[in-house]
Chains A and B, each alone.
Chain A
């Protein structure tokens, strides 16, 4: 990555994120995404700029393992690509407000990833908010158990669903029961992806 001119690298990432936003990337099938990787290689604004610095057959991997892999995190405002995201989910502060209440304040200094987690300071005590989509529930619960073992703040799992995906009552109940087995509280919230 270091062999790409910094200015060009930024332009390319910004362009990929702009197109991803226009293309409705989330609704695409893996095959459709695959076709776009191929098209980007020949896009003068993307592959055209990258091939000045890296081999043509590395362009696809560069896009896939770089900007695209970071896209979910960037949309939460996390990671080195955050500044390029065209659409964002609510920030950590807002997630905490939505999940726990307006009196709670997230500490941005404590944000960590895989899975996303952060210390949220309440009026009387702190919690370790661990959040992510329902598909990553196992990781969220595992992180909660580890937090317990490590003796950090009381873990709280927040299952986030992007706007438009509604979990049925049965699904939500099952997720709460699963977390309860590890004595961890679990809440559900919906997050809206909005243009910045």
Chain B
């Protein structure tokens, strides 16, 4: 720019950037899948606005194969195709005339970044139904740079079939590192997985998850293939919407739809910026565009509960125009204190505190996103408003909300939080368990099967739900069966009697009392023996009287001995081996790698010797695998290896601490309403040492707590440790026993000695737990066993579901 001395003569300068700039865009570190996604976005944008959906809307991606010496990356869609003007506008770098409103593409720049990142030569071909030609543009970045020009010719190629339509992008002369990367083994699979995650909503069909109504989960059913293989959407592994938990007398479903209407606003059709109609601006405040249209805005989607807990695989996915921008976002799980800007984490805090299961998909089509499409603009008013609408203004924890003067949090996320923040096994919280602990690892293992798409039996939540019910069924019996003996038990006819196979001369050697079954005299003179029970019928009978031990259900893989898909049943029908001898357990190889294991839960060895049926099931699995052992390894070594495949069975210190957290949490929850009316007098009465420990715990948990108020309200219960709970129970047994918190009977006894013993029996396990938790040293095997049994006793004495 120059001016002459008079200052009134202006010349123009050309601000068209050098084509080298385009090549430099290729240095932006997009991953290959991100590059493909930029191109896919353009195709899906077209699909989303196409009213005519007579044919499946499909995008095909071609990636280099390991053997290619001239690799290309290609994308073809069967969209509507473009006119020459549309093509021109779509390709114009940076200054794109492409409409950002309602589109995923958002920026014309995305196309340039993606193609420049992939390679040096791009060909775009497009045609509409009825057009006679394909329109073809070649963008050769190096040649453009040499000529220092942005101009490139438009070519036409006659069409064989005038009804053909769509757009194709082919990138040639790939960057070496991109080509090498895309040729790697399994790279195509990982690209498909990434795309399946990001486009889950657009790729899935109308009713993708059994048991979840199609409303909130329904997708668009677009098709996407990479080298001929379909990209499968990664589906949310959530509980069915018909599953509920009851909190404060209200049923809370495991899936909750979100549909929040927002005030309509003026959308700039050019740059996508939204502004309030109240401002009465006739031009866009962002880009000065003059095409502003009043459009409806809403936040919609769902929150739900995953069928398993995970350290990283949970959180909320946020979408813009169907594409996931944030996956597994957890920012909504913290409450931001508006006074000091501090973040207070609210979820997950229940044991295990590092793992969560609340998930969701929320569409925020109106909130601006960054150009790399990896996050929303969190400073924007629209984002902040969405956060309030989705998770409420105050804390989700009711007590915390009340303390800080907020109303009860009734937001969509707050409701799910209320129902499912806790992770206690059983139907109370919808967590699979084994009678004593939660089986998180098994549940997660089943989740992996759900996501693999190779196990249709894991699509519905039935197996998880059965494990939830089995926990409650089984609780209080140390994991042994509690199901009443069915018709195969002592009252049922003996097998020998029914089969008529008893040799003449008396009962078979095996039908002794050992199984608890009284030998039935065989009617030798029966003229017509009953039909012989086949092996299949016999095992079917075992299954009928059985419950599955879900925490032992899964795959066992030993490097040299192969893989078995194991299902374990605890049956109340006495088991007989193939020579009709009573046995405590049996294994049966099924089709393929399937192995069924049966354990007779009423066998003396379990009933009177305190053995755990699980140990026998593990021995059966080990023995089966041992049969394939070529090196003469001991069966006990195999059994040890098999046992280690079931991490939920561990009795480690950390597993026991998790369990302590769960059961004490339940006890405190039951105590709180009882304590509230007598908070002051109770607090005064408890020993000084208990008060000090509670106060210290509260100080660590929340430095901003007003401790005198907490004491007055009775909220101090939340900070009582096991010994503190024991002390409180000792002081007021009438308030907490007789089913109020503990099932132990108390008031009905007239002898004070009996009464004292009842109290002692209740508080002793609490004291053992307290010792266990406060002792920092490593625990011996016996100490761990003692703790486990103490937990069993404690859980058995707590009222209601634990």
Contact = CB atoms under 8 A, between A and B. Distances in A.
A78 B487 CA distance: 60
B56 A24 contact: yes
Interface in B168-182: 168, 170, 172
Contacts of B78: 163
A28 interface: yes
A158 to B, nearest CB: 13
A97 B72 CA distance: 27
Contacts of A2: none
B161 A90 contact: yes
What is the predominant secondary structure among interface residues of chain B facing chain A? loop
Interface string B444-459: 0000000001101000
Contacts of B473: none
B68 A168 contact: yes
Contact of B230 (A24, A90, A192): A24
A29 interface: yes
B225 interface: yes
A139 B225 CA distance: 27
A27 B76 contact: no
A166 B170 contact: yes
B72 A168 contact: yes
B195 to A, nearest CB: 13
Given A31-B454, A32-B453, A166 B74 contact: yes
A151 interface: no
Contacts of B69: 170
B55 A97 contact: no
Contacts of B56: 24
B55 A168 contact: no
Interface in A158-196: 162-166, 168-171, 173, 192, 194-195
A125 interface: no
A194 B54 CA distance: 11
B62 A166 contact: yes
A51 interface: no
Contacts of B54: 195
B60 A165 contact: yes
A28 B68 contact: no
A164 B55 CA distance: 15
B70 interface: yes
Contact of B70 (A26, A163, A170, A192): A170
Interface residues of B, number: 31
Given A97-B160, A168-B64, A192-B161, A24 B223 contact: yes
A52 to B, nearest CB: 26
A26 B72 CA distance: 22
B644 interface: no
Interface string B410-436: 000000000000000000000000000
Interface residues of A, number: 25
B225 A164 contact: yes
Contacts of B58: 164
A163 B167 CA distance: 12
A186 B160 CA distance: 19
B392 interface: no
Nearest to B168: A166
A195 B55 contact: yes
B160 A98 contact: yes
Contacts of A170: 68-71
B221 to A, nearest CB: 10
A98 to B, nearest CB: 5
A165 B230 contact: no
Contacts of B60: 163-165
A91 to B, nearest CB: 12
Contacts of B161: 90, 94, 192
Contacts of A90: 161
Interface in B364-403: none
A166 B72 contact: yes
A169 B160 CA distance: 21
Contacts of A168: 64, 68, 70-72
A27 B62 contact: no
25 contacts: A24-B223, A27-B225, A27-B230, A28-B230, A90-B161, A94-B161, A98-B160, A163-B78, A164-B62, A164-B76, A164-B228, A165-B227, A166-B62, A166-B72, A166-B74, A166-B170, A168-B64, A169-B72, A169-B172, A171-B70, A173-B70, A194-B55, A194-B163, A195-B54, A195-B55
Interface of B: 54-56, 58, 60, 62, 64, 68-72, 74, 76, 78, 160-161, 163-164, 168, 170, 172, 223, 225, 227-230, 453-454, 456
Top 9 closest A-B pairs, CB basis? A164-B60, A27-B230, A170-B70, A166-B74, A166-B62, A170-B69, A168-B70, A168-B72, A98-B160
Given A28-B230, A171-B68, 4 more contacts: A32-B453, A164-B225, A165-B60, A192-B164
